Structure 1
Amino acid sequence: MPAEETLWIVLKDGCRLAARLWLPEGEGPAPAVLEYLPYRRRDRHRGDDAILHPGLAAAGYAAIRVDMRGSGDSDGTMDDEYTPQEWADANEVIAWIAAQHWCSGAVGLIGLSWSAFNALQIAATRPPALKAIVTTCGSDDRFADDMHYMGGALLNDNLQYGSTLFTWLAPPPDPEIVGERWRAMWLDRMNAISEPPAARWMRHADRDAYWQSGSVCEDYARIEVPVLAVGGWADGYTNAVHRLLSHLSGPRKGVIGPGGHAYSHVATPGPGFDFIGLAARWFDRWMKGVDNGVEAEPMLTAWMQDYEPPRPQYERRAGCWVAEAHWPSANVETRTFNLAADALRAEAGARFAASVKSPATVGLASGEWCPYGWGPDMPGDQREDDAGSACFDTAPLDEPLAILGRPEVKLVLTVDGPEAVLALRLNAVAPEGTSARVTYGLINLAHRDGFAHGKPLVPGSRIEVRVPLKVTGYRVPAGHRLRLAVSTQYWPLTMPLPVVATATIEQGSLALPVRRGEGPGAPDLGAPWSPPPLETDVIEAPARGRLVITHEVATGRATVEVVRNLGAIRIRETGLELRALGSETYSTVRDDPGEASSFAFRKAEFIRGDWQARIETRSMLTATATGWRLHAEYDAYDHGERIFAREWTIETPRAGMSGDGV
């Protein structure tokens, strides 16, 4: 579908937002579907737009992509994600769209990642013209399930994504669109950066008002429009699908495939499905009034993964589609296993003492917190990590075990210091010993009594913790064993605390959601389809994942090198050469996590004719005795001349270590 390259939406305060529009064939107004995010419709997100919005237009929708305030070619500045200004602007945008001659007055929202979050957030503000949303790889809880914390433990994704947003908060608009004022707009944007986003997020180490804002789980009743929630087992955000199905009261549906962080018609690992067709059916029902029966289909459709030898990258995951008419499902029952001295068994056991003091390198087989499926970013064979953990195994299973839902672990333990993080992995162990991660969870023990306010541990004091693991759909074959592995490190997925902690487990249990029967037949989701990809000349192919792991025998130092490239391309439609390149280096010492460091580099460059603009950022995270230290540098260049430079060194206390949480 041909697109109208630039429309201007003028907000009440005079701010102009840039939009791109695809209209369906035929005459007369049509319902509109909006995607609203800061990821630049002219370049950075143009490839994603090309494989989604023309498809929506072909399905009979006016598809519109709007650059948020301060991003792309829009006016203004931006300093953070998910703000009241973002939602207020969105309400004006939706009203503007509904009033256009090409719109029937009905508007839907669709989104992936950032735009999946704000689709939920905007729905909670109840704009009158909004009729339905489709949210993919997003979250209803910004503290529990985003790239900053997991179980209150600081993720290294906080630095890596913080570095990405740091770089893309303030790139220049395109001179072809805004004219000569592009340079002044660029300088205004850079001057508006108050601090690196990673530092802001670390300053909120508890689940405080900052995280509650924009977490629609605070009041699910605010969302009244029908919600289609889509995810992938490899993605970091899958927990939200089950919570939304469990807590929303209006029409809702969830689909979880095997893929990573991408729309499901292009996500890897496969198999994918016809995401555009599914979204169109959802919008048809609630925006066009088509009686297509989509609401009568099973509430949850999920890819049940079969065991296969673990690999850091898959093209396709073994398994099959299953469905549940409702969620929570009466077809899923809880089966409890109890921890014994070195076992996991159905009968309750006596107290025991299993101590674990993990090397700082446990976690090298973790994979990324949020895999994209583009490279080696999935969890591998867990045996090396198991060797540094306390492991509790079942006997070989007499029959296959189908897990669907969110397992939970309860532990009674003591710790010998004031702070510690536990990683809990549920693995499927094959008869020959291969160990595949089924799911996992983290807990920062400063948050053992909840996430509202962290407090230090009392060394040697007995504590009880409940740790939900990530939602999963996984079938463990007969003859395999289940293993619960508990470690006091999980690097480099987390930024390690600078302490060597010993945890002694005395009691525990694992509650597994076990799918008992076959359930209703899974609907046919169709073969994946998308419009043709964006026409580009590839200069450097996109790549993500852990490429090199090195060990220094003499010092015990381990280093993980990660590539984080969106790629370098020339976009034929606009004649623009875009370079979006990055990398990270994570380092730690086996017996001294206090030596750990995380470093991220990012570069964004825009070249066309005599226009050449470049941004480079560098971010280094280390630990202090009670906190984190972030050093960040931001440099901008016009034709190779540096026109802007700023650096920050910011220290923030860790959860429970601020002195006011005892």
Structure 2
Amino acid sequence: MSDTIEPLLAVPAYRQIVIPLSDGVRLAARLWLPDGDTRVPLVLEWIPYRQSDNTAVGDSMIHGFFAAHGMAAMRIDLRGSGNSTGLLQDEYLAREQDDAVEVIAWIAAQPWCNGNVGMIGISWGGFAALQIAARRPPALKAIITCCSTDDRYADDVHFMGGALLTDGLQWGSGLFTQLGRPLDPAHVGEGWRDLWLQRLEGMEPPLGRWLAHMERDDFWRHGSVCENYDDIQCAVYAVGGWTDGYSDAILRLMANLNVPRKGLIGPWTHIYPNWGTPGPAIDFLGVCQRFWRQWLLGEETGIMDEPMLDLWQGEHLRSEPSSLTLDGQWITAPGWPVASPSRDFYLADGRLSDLPPPPVPASASMNAPTHTPTSSLVIDTPMHCGLMAGEWCPLDGGGNAPEFQDDQRQDDGLSVCFDTPVLNEPLILCGKAGLEVDIAFDTPSAMVILRLNEVAADGRSARITFGIHRLVRPDVPAGQAFRVVLPLKGVAYRFSPGCRVRLALSTTYWPMAWAEPGQGPVTLFPHGAVFRLPSRAPDVLDRAGPFGAARSAPALDHDILAREVTSRQVQWDAASGTHRLTMDAKRQQTRIGELSFDGEGHESYDIGATPESARWEAVRMQRYTRPGWHIELRSETTLAWKDSALILTSRYEARENQQVVFERRWEQQFAARINGKNT
């Protein structure tokens, strides 16, 4: 399993190029070509994040590495982003995929290319790799997809278990700000301003599109490769981290694809593993290089002879908002799913018991008069339960903000909890846990949040995994019980002797899950409930050796003019009963040549005693400056309930050299989905 790739050679200089599309749009790209006349494959990264400045430093370290090892590499800005012409109006549009298919054919036809292309990407780029692979461009032979999903509705930043995620609101306001970023006159020339103004005039708030589709429909099915896994016919390497929001997609891809495939889930959040946070980081680029040489050059590197799935098995998790490293070890699975026995626990008087309860008398039922009050319990958590959750996808915008979970004791105290006795021996899990239980509620819909926690001897509680579920009452009378199976996110973890396992249940999880009217208390019937934990299967083994230390090419010359400064604060107004979470960030200021760029953001989340009190505000700014040229962009976004409707207010302002060149305000209204079905 060792990395057999030769040491880093000289990194070739990149060149800026323009790729013409058939409709007249011109895509800006940065190309690294190895020295020499040999025809080589190309590794493509396809994202809208400005290869000439915002991602230039990281791009140089990744793509320079590939080029130094005999691969061509390219970073392209999507149409309407960076220095590319055209309009970018939303994520993952069919037009974007059409462009990529055309670009891949253009690359394969270049005299320096051997006709083989691979795609690598994280987040948007990881989504794009999957979606474009499903289009089957002939030259695309392999993809490495990081921190992405196969299901844009069920398991993306927008929704989890049908519940609206506020990480999606953050992302929507961030993308809104990015849509109006200017073309750079140093690269584009005199026509940059007219093209920029066209870009600004063509903008719409992406959140408005997303909130118009609160249920699974064709809008979300587009770009969801789970609709037909067999559309993908090239080799796939799916990569992510347990701390990231997208780890479950890797397990589904391993289970459902019918192509050569590998998976890797580390301890990390939303970041390439060579920079992996929380650590340890690994030699991810060396791993990629073995995969590329296997599928783009036809060399037998041995990578496909190794176990399909590498997993980080955590232990001793510390619930700290700014965790830098996590304890654990690497394990491997030969495939997925693995046949693993479940460790079953039963709910009894606040305990997780190994012993099943005695059978219910035949004369009794969930709704019979003989069903005693002690055999049910009501879960009705305060609206502010969840303030210690951290982010659904921590650090998805980069930086070092305190976005991981905090000590879970506060949220546990607001929840209904069931604990095991103190463990006398390790409990090792690998897979997906789930609760099978009878519940009832009177409202059209309800929320149930499950957290699997490890409680240390000193009382500290750390969330190991969780699940969020917005449930719609089936065709039964209000208050009548029905059976549900509520899964949690996948996990590989070793619970330590001396600790306790805790199942914490709540009906709110603010602010991670947006509060919606029409939701209320949930009655749970513990008798007959089973909490199934996935024991580590016998064929899941300790990895034969560690991954090597992280490597990359040298970074592009740049200066850091100011480091990032962030804060995350929780406040309680005793007079109004309102809890407020505020997050502030002044982003790192970077200079490349004469151009400097930075940004800042402010967010607040307010909640009172009812779902209708939920309110979110975001203000974001981005700046680009060189002598004689200063661009400042500002977006303001709010979301709140009014008369059972969601009101989204968006405002955008663009300035050139302190003068306002564009300003617009939008107000959009969306009906509450009181009776909506998630599907």
Distance of 2:575 and 2:674 partners within structure 1 = 35
Distance of 1:102 and 1:563 partners within structure 2 = 47
Give matches, 1:130-529, under 5 Å: 130-193=140-203, 195-330=204-339, 332-349=340-357, 352-372=375-395, 374-446=400-472, 459-498=478-517, 501-507=520-526, 508-517=529-538, 519=541, 521-529=543-551
Q: Greater shift after overlay, 50-59 or 204-213? A: 50-59
SS of 2:66's equivalent in the other structure is helix
- Under a length normalisation based on structure 1, what TM-score does the superposition of the two structures give? 0.94
Unaligned runs of 5+ in 2: 1-10, 361-365, 367-374
Q: By how many angstroms is 1:563 displaced?
A: 2.9
Give matches, 1:90-129, under 5 Å: 90-129=100-139
Q: By how many angstroms is 1:422 displaced?
A: 1.7
Q: By how many angstroms is 1:21 displaced?
A: 0.5
Query: Is residue 310–residue 380 contact of structure 1 (8 Å, CA) maintained in 2?
Result: yes
Match of 1:582 in 2: 601
Q: Over residues 104-142 of structure 1, what are the superposed CA-to-partner deviations in whole Å (9 max), with x where a residue is unaligned?
A: 111000001000001000000000001111011111111
Query: Is residue 341–residue 354 contact of structure 1 (8 Å, CA) maintained in 2?
Result: no
- Under a length normalisation based on structure 2, what TM-score does the superposition of the two structures give? 0.92
Question: Residue 559 of structure 2: which of 537, 542, 545 is its match?
Answer: 537
Q: Over residues 539-591 of structure 1, what are the superposed CA-to-partner deviations in whole Å (9 max), with x where a residue is unaligned?
A: 332356x521122233322211113554222223xx211122212111112x2
Distance of 2:70 and 2:640 partners within structure 1 = 52
Give matches, 1:604-643, under 5 Å: 604-643=622-661
Distance of 2:457 and 2:668 partners within structure 1 = 50
Q: By how many angstroms is 1:520 displaced?
A: 5.6
SS of 1:51's equivalent in the other structure is helix
Q: By how many angstroms is 1:3 displaced?
A: 3.5
Query: Is residue 215–residue 678 contact of structure 2 (8 Å, CA) maintained in 1?
Result: no
Query: Is residue 626–residue 654 contact of structure 1 (8 Å, CA) maintained in 2?
Result: yes
SS of 1:265's equivalent in the other structure is helix
Match of 2:372 in 1: none
Distance of 1:102 and 1:92 partners within structure 2 = 18
Give yes or no for the alignment of 1:655 onto 2:673: yes
SS of 2:647's equivalent in the other structure is strand
Query: Is residue 517–residue 672 contact of structure 2 (8 Å, CA) maintained in 1?
Result: no
Distance of 1:156 and 1:25 partners within structure 2 = 47
Change (3 A) 1:379 1:626: same
Query: Is residue 499–residue 592 contact of structure 1 (8 Å, CA) maintained in 2?
Result: no
- AA at the equivalent of 2:525: E
How many residues of Structure 1 are paired with residues of Structure 2 in the alignment? 648
Stretches (4+) displaced over 4 A: none
Query: Is residue 78–residue 170 contact of structure 1 (8 Å, CA) maintained in 2?
Result: no
Query: Is residue 40–residue 113 contact of structure 2 (8 Å, CA) maintained in 1?
Result: yes
Q: By how many angstroms is 1:37 displaced?
A: 0.9
Q: By how many angstroms is 1:229 displaced?
A: 0.7
Query: Is residue 265–residue 312 contact of structure 2 (8 Å, CA) maintained in 1?
Result: yes
Query: Is residue 401–residue 585 contact of structure 2 (8 Å, CA) maintained in 1?
Result: no
Q: Over residues 22-78 of structure 1, what are the superposed CA-to-partner deviations in whole Å (9 max), with x where a residue is unaligned?
A: 112333111100001111101122132122111111121101011111111111001
Distance of 2:184 and 2:381 partners within structure 1 = 51
SS of 2:133's equivalent in the other structure is helix
Distance of 1:141 and 1:543 partners within structure 2 = 34
Match of 2:20 in 1: 10
Match of 1:452 in 2: none
Query: Is residue 142–residue 234 contact of structure 2 (8 Å, CA) maintained in 1?
Result: yes
SS of 1:445's equivalent in the other structure is strand
**Identity among equivalent pairs (%):** 42
Q: Greater shift after overlay, 373-382 or 118-127? A: 373-382
Q: Greater shift after overlay, 646-655 or 172-181? A: 646-655
Give yes or no for the alignment of 1:32 onto 2:51: no
Distance of 1:420 and 1:180 partners within structure 2 = 56
SS of 1:81's equivalent in the other structure is coil
Distance of 2:565 and 2:108 partners within structure 1 = 39
Q: Greater shift after overlay, 272-281 or 510-519? A: 510-519
SS of 1:242's equivalent in the other structure is helix
- AA at the equivalent of 1:333: P
Q: Over residues 255-314 of structure 1, what are the superposed CA-to-partner deviations in whole Å (9 max), with x where a residue is unaligned?
A: 111111110000211001111000110011111111111101011111110023321122
Over the aligned positions, Cα root-mean-square deviation in angstroms equals 2.0
Query: Is residue 325–residue 520 contact of structure 1 (8 Å, CA) maintained in 2?
Result: no
Match of 1:568 in 2: 589
Match of 2:59 in 1: 49
Distance of 1:594 and 1:41 partners within structure 2 = 42
Distance of 1:565 and 1:404 partners within structure 2 = 39
- AA at the equivalent of 1:538: I
SS of 1:221's equivalent in the other structure is helix
Question: Residue 646 of structure 1: which of 633, 652, 664 is its match?
Answer: 664
Q: Over residues 214-251 of structure 1, what are the superposed CA-to-partner deviations in whole Å (9 max), with x where a residue is unaligned?
A: 00011111111110111011111111110111111111
Distance of 2:542 and 2:304 partners within structure 1 = 15
Query: Is residue 499–residue 594 contact of structure 1 (8 Å, CA) maintained in 2?
Result: no
